[in-house]
């Protein structure tokens, strides 16, 4: 890559001198490739609002999806890899982790070397050969016996003046294995545009995703713009054919006749059979378009209108949701009131249960006491029965005694009557003069009175 200020204008032809002056006017110079540009962050860590895409993937040790879709189709195992414009080093890590035998990287920005080395050390990747050099200068000085199996140019060619890129590609063929593969990722523009020669075409200014020229810090850095077909035609002029939008190989006698009528699928399979380091079946590459397709603007406007209608519906639904929310809140408040009432009822129930337990305990105690009384009453009944029986026996005994007493009374009455008769008889004979009569009478009288 030509670095303005790094190459002297003296000795160059007038056309190259004019190109260098145009580079200066457009701002294509080494000083723009700063740490802020590569990381997308200012010194204080805040977003810069410009710079290389994929900073979030870089921070996590990954790689951009667009680059990965291209690299994932390459077999790096045991391969010698060269990369122009390695930038922050994500592709270095990717290639080495997938078995590359060797890796050599070239980038003309000194800060890129610093960032890449820091990135690789952070992720414990052995440091490969990293050159802070211009791509053309590097390939011009490359030893003749140096051969590469894979060459990576990810977001590289749009930064390189077209004439210089052509020279680099021509010299590169001297260092390629017969089955070498070149992987290119570059934004797809609406119209082919050698910006240094033609200026930035109007078609490449309108409805653009690419904001490079809208920011002072990056304005002019994209100086070599291609469509899908114009890139293939440029590569063909330089002696390369493609097996997909992003994968190219050198046209040689060994590679055979190149046909533009063969499908990508067939070219992919033929190239794999021939020995190109390709993986899997053919799958379309993930292209990065730098522009908005005008034919899609109407559809976009229609989508916007539909989205506005959807927004209205969403707003209506939102209002309904708010009403439902308010109803729900009221229902929740009512539920809380019911819960409060239930709590009160539960407390009352708990108190009632306690009272019931107390009553139950009291009833149990009363039942125990009643059983004790019943026992006592039973004992009393037994005593009463015993007493009753004793009373009956006493009554019977008393009746017998009374009958006996009556008998005694009768007998006594009879005795008394006899005694009275005897007393009368004694008294009758007491005055008798015969001792034979009086003496027994006196004895009998004393006996009767003693009784």
CATH number of 14-292: 3.40.50.150
Distances (CA, A) of 414 to 420, 441, 449: 10, 20, 16
Which pLDDT score is estimated for 371?
86
Does the pLDDT of residue 286 top 90, yes or no? no
More confident residue, 11 or 378: 378
What value does the mean pLDDT take over residues 56-70? 94
Which pLDDT score is estimated for 16?
45
Predicted confidence (pLDDT) per residue in 83-128, tens digit: 999 999 999 999 999 999 999 999 999 999 999 999 999 999 999 9
Which pLDDT score is estimated for 411?
80
What is the chain's mean pLDDT, rounded? 85
Distances (CA, A) of 101 to 80, 147, 320: 6, 12, 64
> What predicted TM-score, i.e. pTM, was given to this entire model?
0.63
Return the closest-CA partner of residue 19 out of 32, 7, 34: 7
Domain ranges of the chain: 14-292, 300-450
Which pLDDT score is estimated for 245?
94
Which pLDDT score is estimated for 285?
87
- The contacts of residue 138 (CB under 8 Å, 6+ apart) are 106, 131
Q: Of the given ranges (96-105, 176-185, 263-272, 404-413), which has the lowest mean pLDDT?
A: 404-413
Predicted confidence (pLDDT) per residue in 204-259, tens digit: 888 788 888 888 899 889 999 999 999 999 999 999 999 999 999 999 865 554 55
More confident residue, 24 or 318: 318
What value does the mean pLDDT take over residues 70-81? 97
Q: Of the given ranges (55-59, 268-272, 405-409, 419-423), which has the lowest mean pLDDT?
A: 419-423
Predicted confidence (pLDDT) per residue in 117-176, tens digit: 999 999 999 999 999 999 999 999 999 999 999 999 999 999 999 999 999 999 999 999
């Amino acid at each position: 890559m030509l670095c303005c200020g790094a190459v002297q204008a003296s000795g160059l032809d007038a056309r190259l001198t004019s190109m260098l002056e145009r580079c200066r006017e457009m701002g294509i110079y080494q000083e723009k490739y700063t740490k802020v540009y590569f990381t997308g962050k200012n010194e204080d860590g805040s977003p810069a609002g410009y710079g290389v895409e994929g900073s979030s993937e870089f921070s996590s040790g990954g790689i951009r999806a667009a680059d990965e879709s291209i690299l994932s189709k390459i077999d790096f195992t045991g391969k010698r890899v060269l990369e122009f414009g390695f930038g922050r080093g994500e592709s270095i890590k990717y290639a080495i982790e997938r078995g590359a035998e060797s890796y050599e990287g070239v980038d003309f920005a000194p800060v890129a070397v610093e960032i890449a080395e820091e990135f690789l050390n952070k992720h414990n990747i052995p440091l490969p050969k990293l050159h802070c050099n211009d791509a053309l200068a590097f390939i011009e000085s490359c030893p003749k016996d140096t051969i590469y199996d894979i060459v990576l140019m990810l977001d590289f060619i749009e930064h390189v003046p077209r004439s210089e890129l052509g020279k680099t590609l021509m010299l590169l063929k001297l260092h390629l294995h017969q089955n070498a593969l070149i992987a290119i990722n570059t934004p797809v523009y609406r119209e082919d545009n050698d910006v240094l020669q033609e200026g930035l075409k109007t078609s490449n200014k309108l409805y653009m995703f690419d904001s490079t020229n809208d920011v002072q810090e990056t304005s002019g850095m994209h100086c070599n713009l291609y469509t899908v077909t114009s890139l293939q035609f440029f590569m063909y002029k330089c002696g390369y054919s493609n097996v997909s939008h992003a994968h190219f190989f050198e046209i040689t006698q060994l590679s055979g006749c190149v046909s533009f009528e063969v499908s990508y699928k067939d070219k992919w399979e033929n190239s794999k059979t021939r020995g190109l380091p390709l993986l899997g079946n053919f799958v379309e590459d993930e292209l990065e378009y730098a522009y908005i397709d005008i034919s899609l603007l109407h559809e976009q406007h229609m989508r916007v209108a539909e989205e506005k209608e959807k927004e209205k519906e969403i707003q209506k639904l939102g209002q309904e949701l708010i009403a439902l929310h308010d109803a729900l809140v009221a229902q929740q408040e009512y539920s809380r009131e019911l819960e409060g009432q239930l709590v009160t009822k539960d407390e009352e129930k708990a108190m009632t249960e306690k009272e019931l337990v107390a009553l139950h305990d009291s009833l149990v105690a009363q039942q125990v006491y009643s059983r004790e009384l019943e026992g006592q009453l039973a004992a009393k009944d037994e005593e009463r029965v015993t007493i009753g029986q004793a009373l009956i026996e006493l009554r019977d005994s008393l009746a017998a005694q009374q009958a006996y007493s009556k008998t005694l009374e009768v007998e006594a009455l009879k005795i008394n009557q006899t005694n009275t008769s005897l007393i009368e008889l004694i008294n009758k004979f007491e005055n008798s003069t015969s001792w034979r009569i009086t003496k027994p009478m006196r004895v009998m009288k004393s006996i009767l009175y003693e009784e």
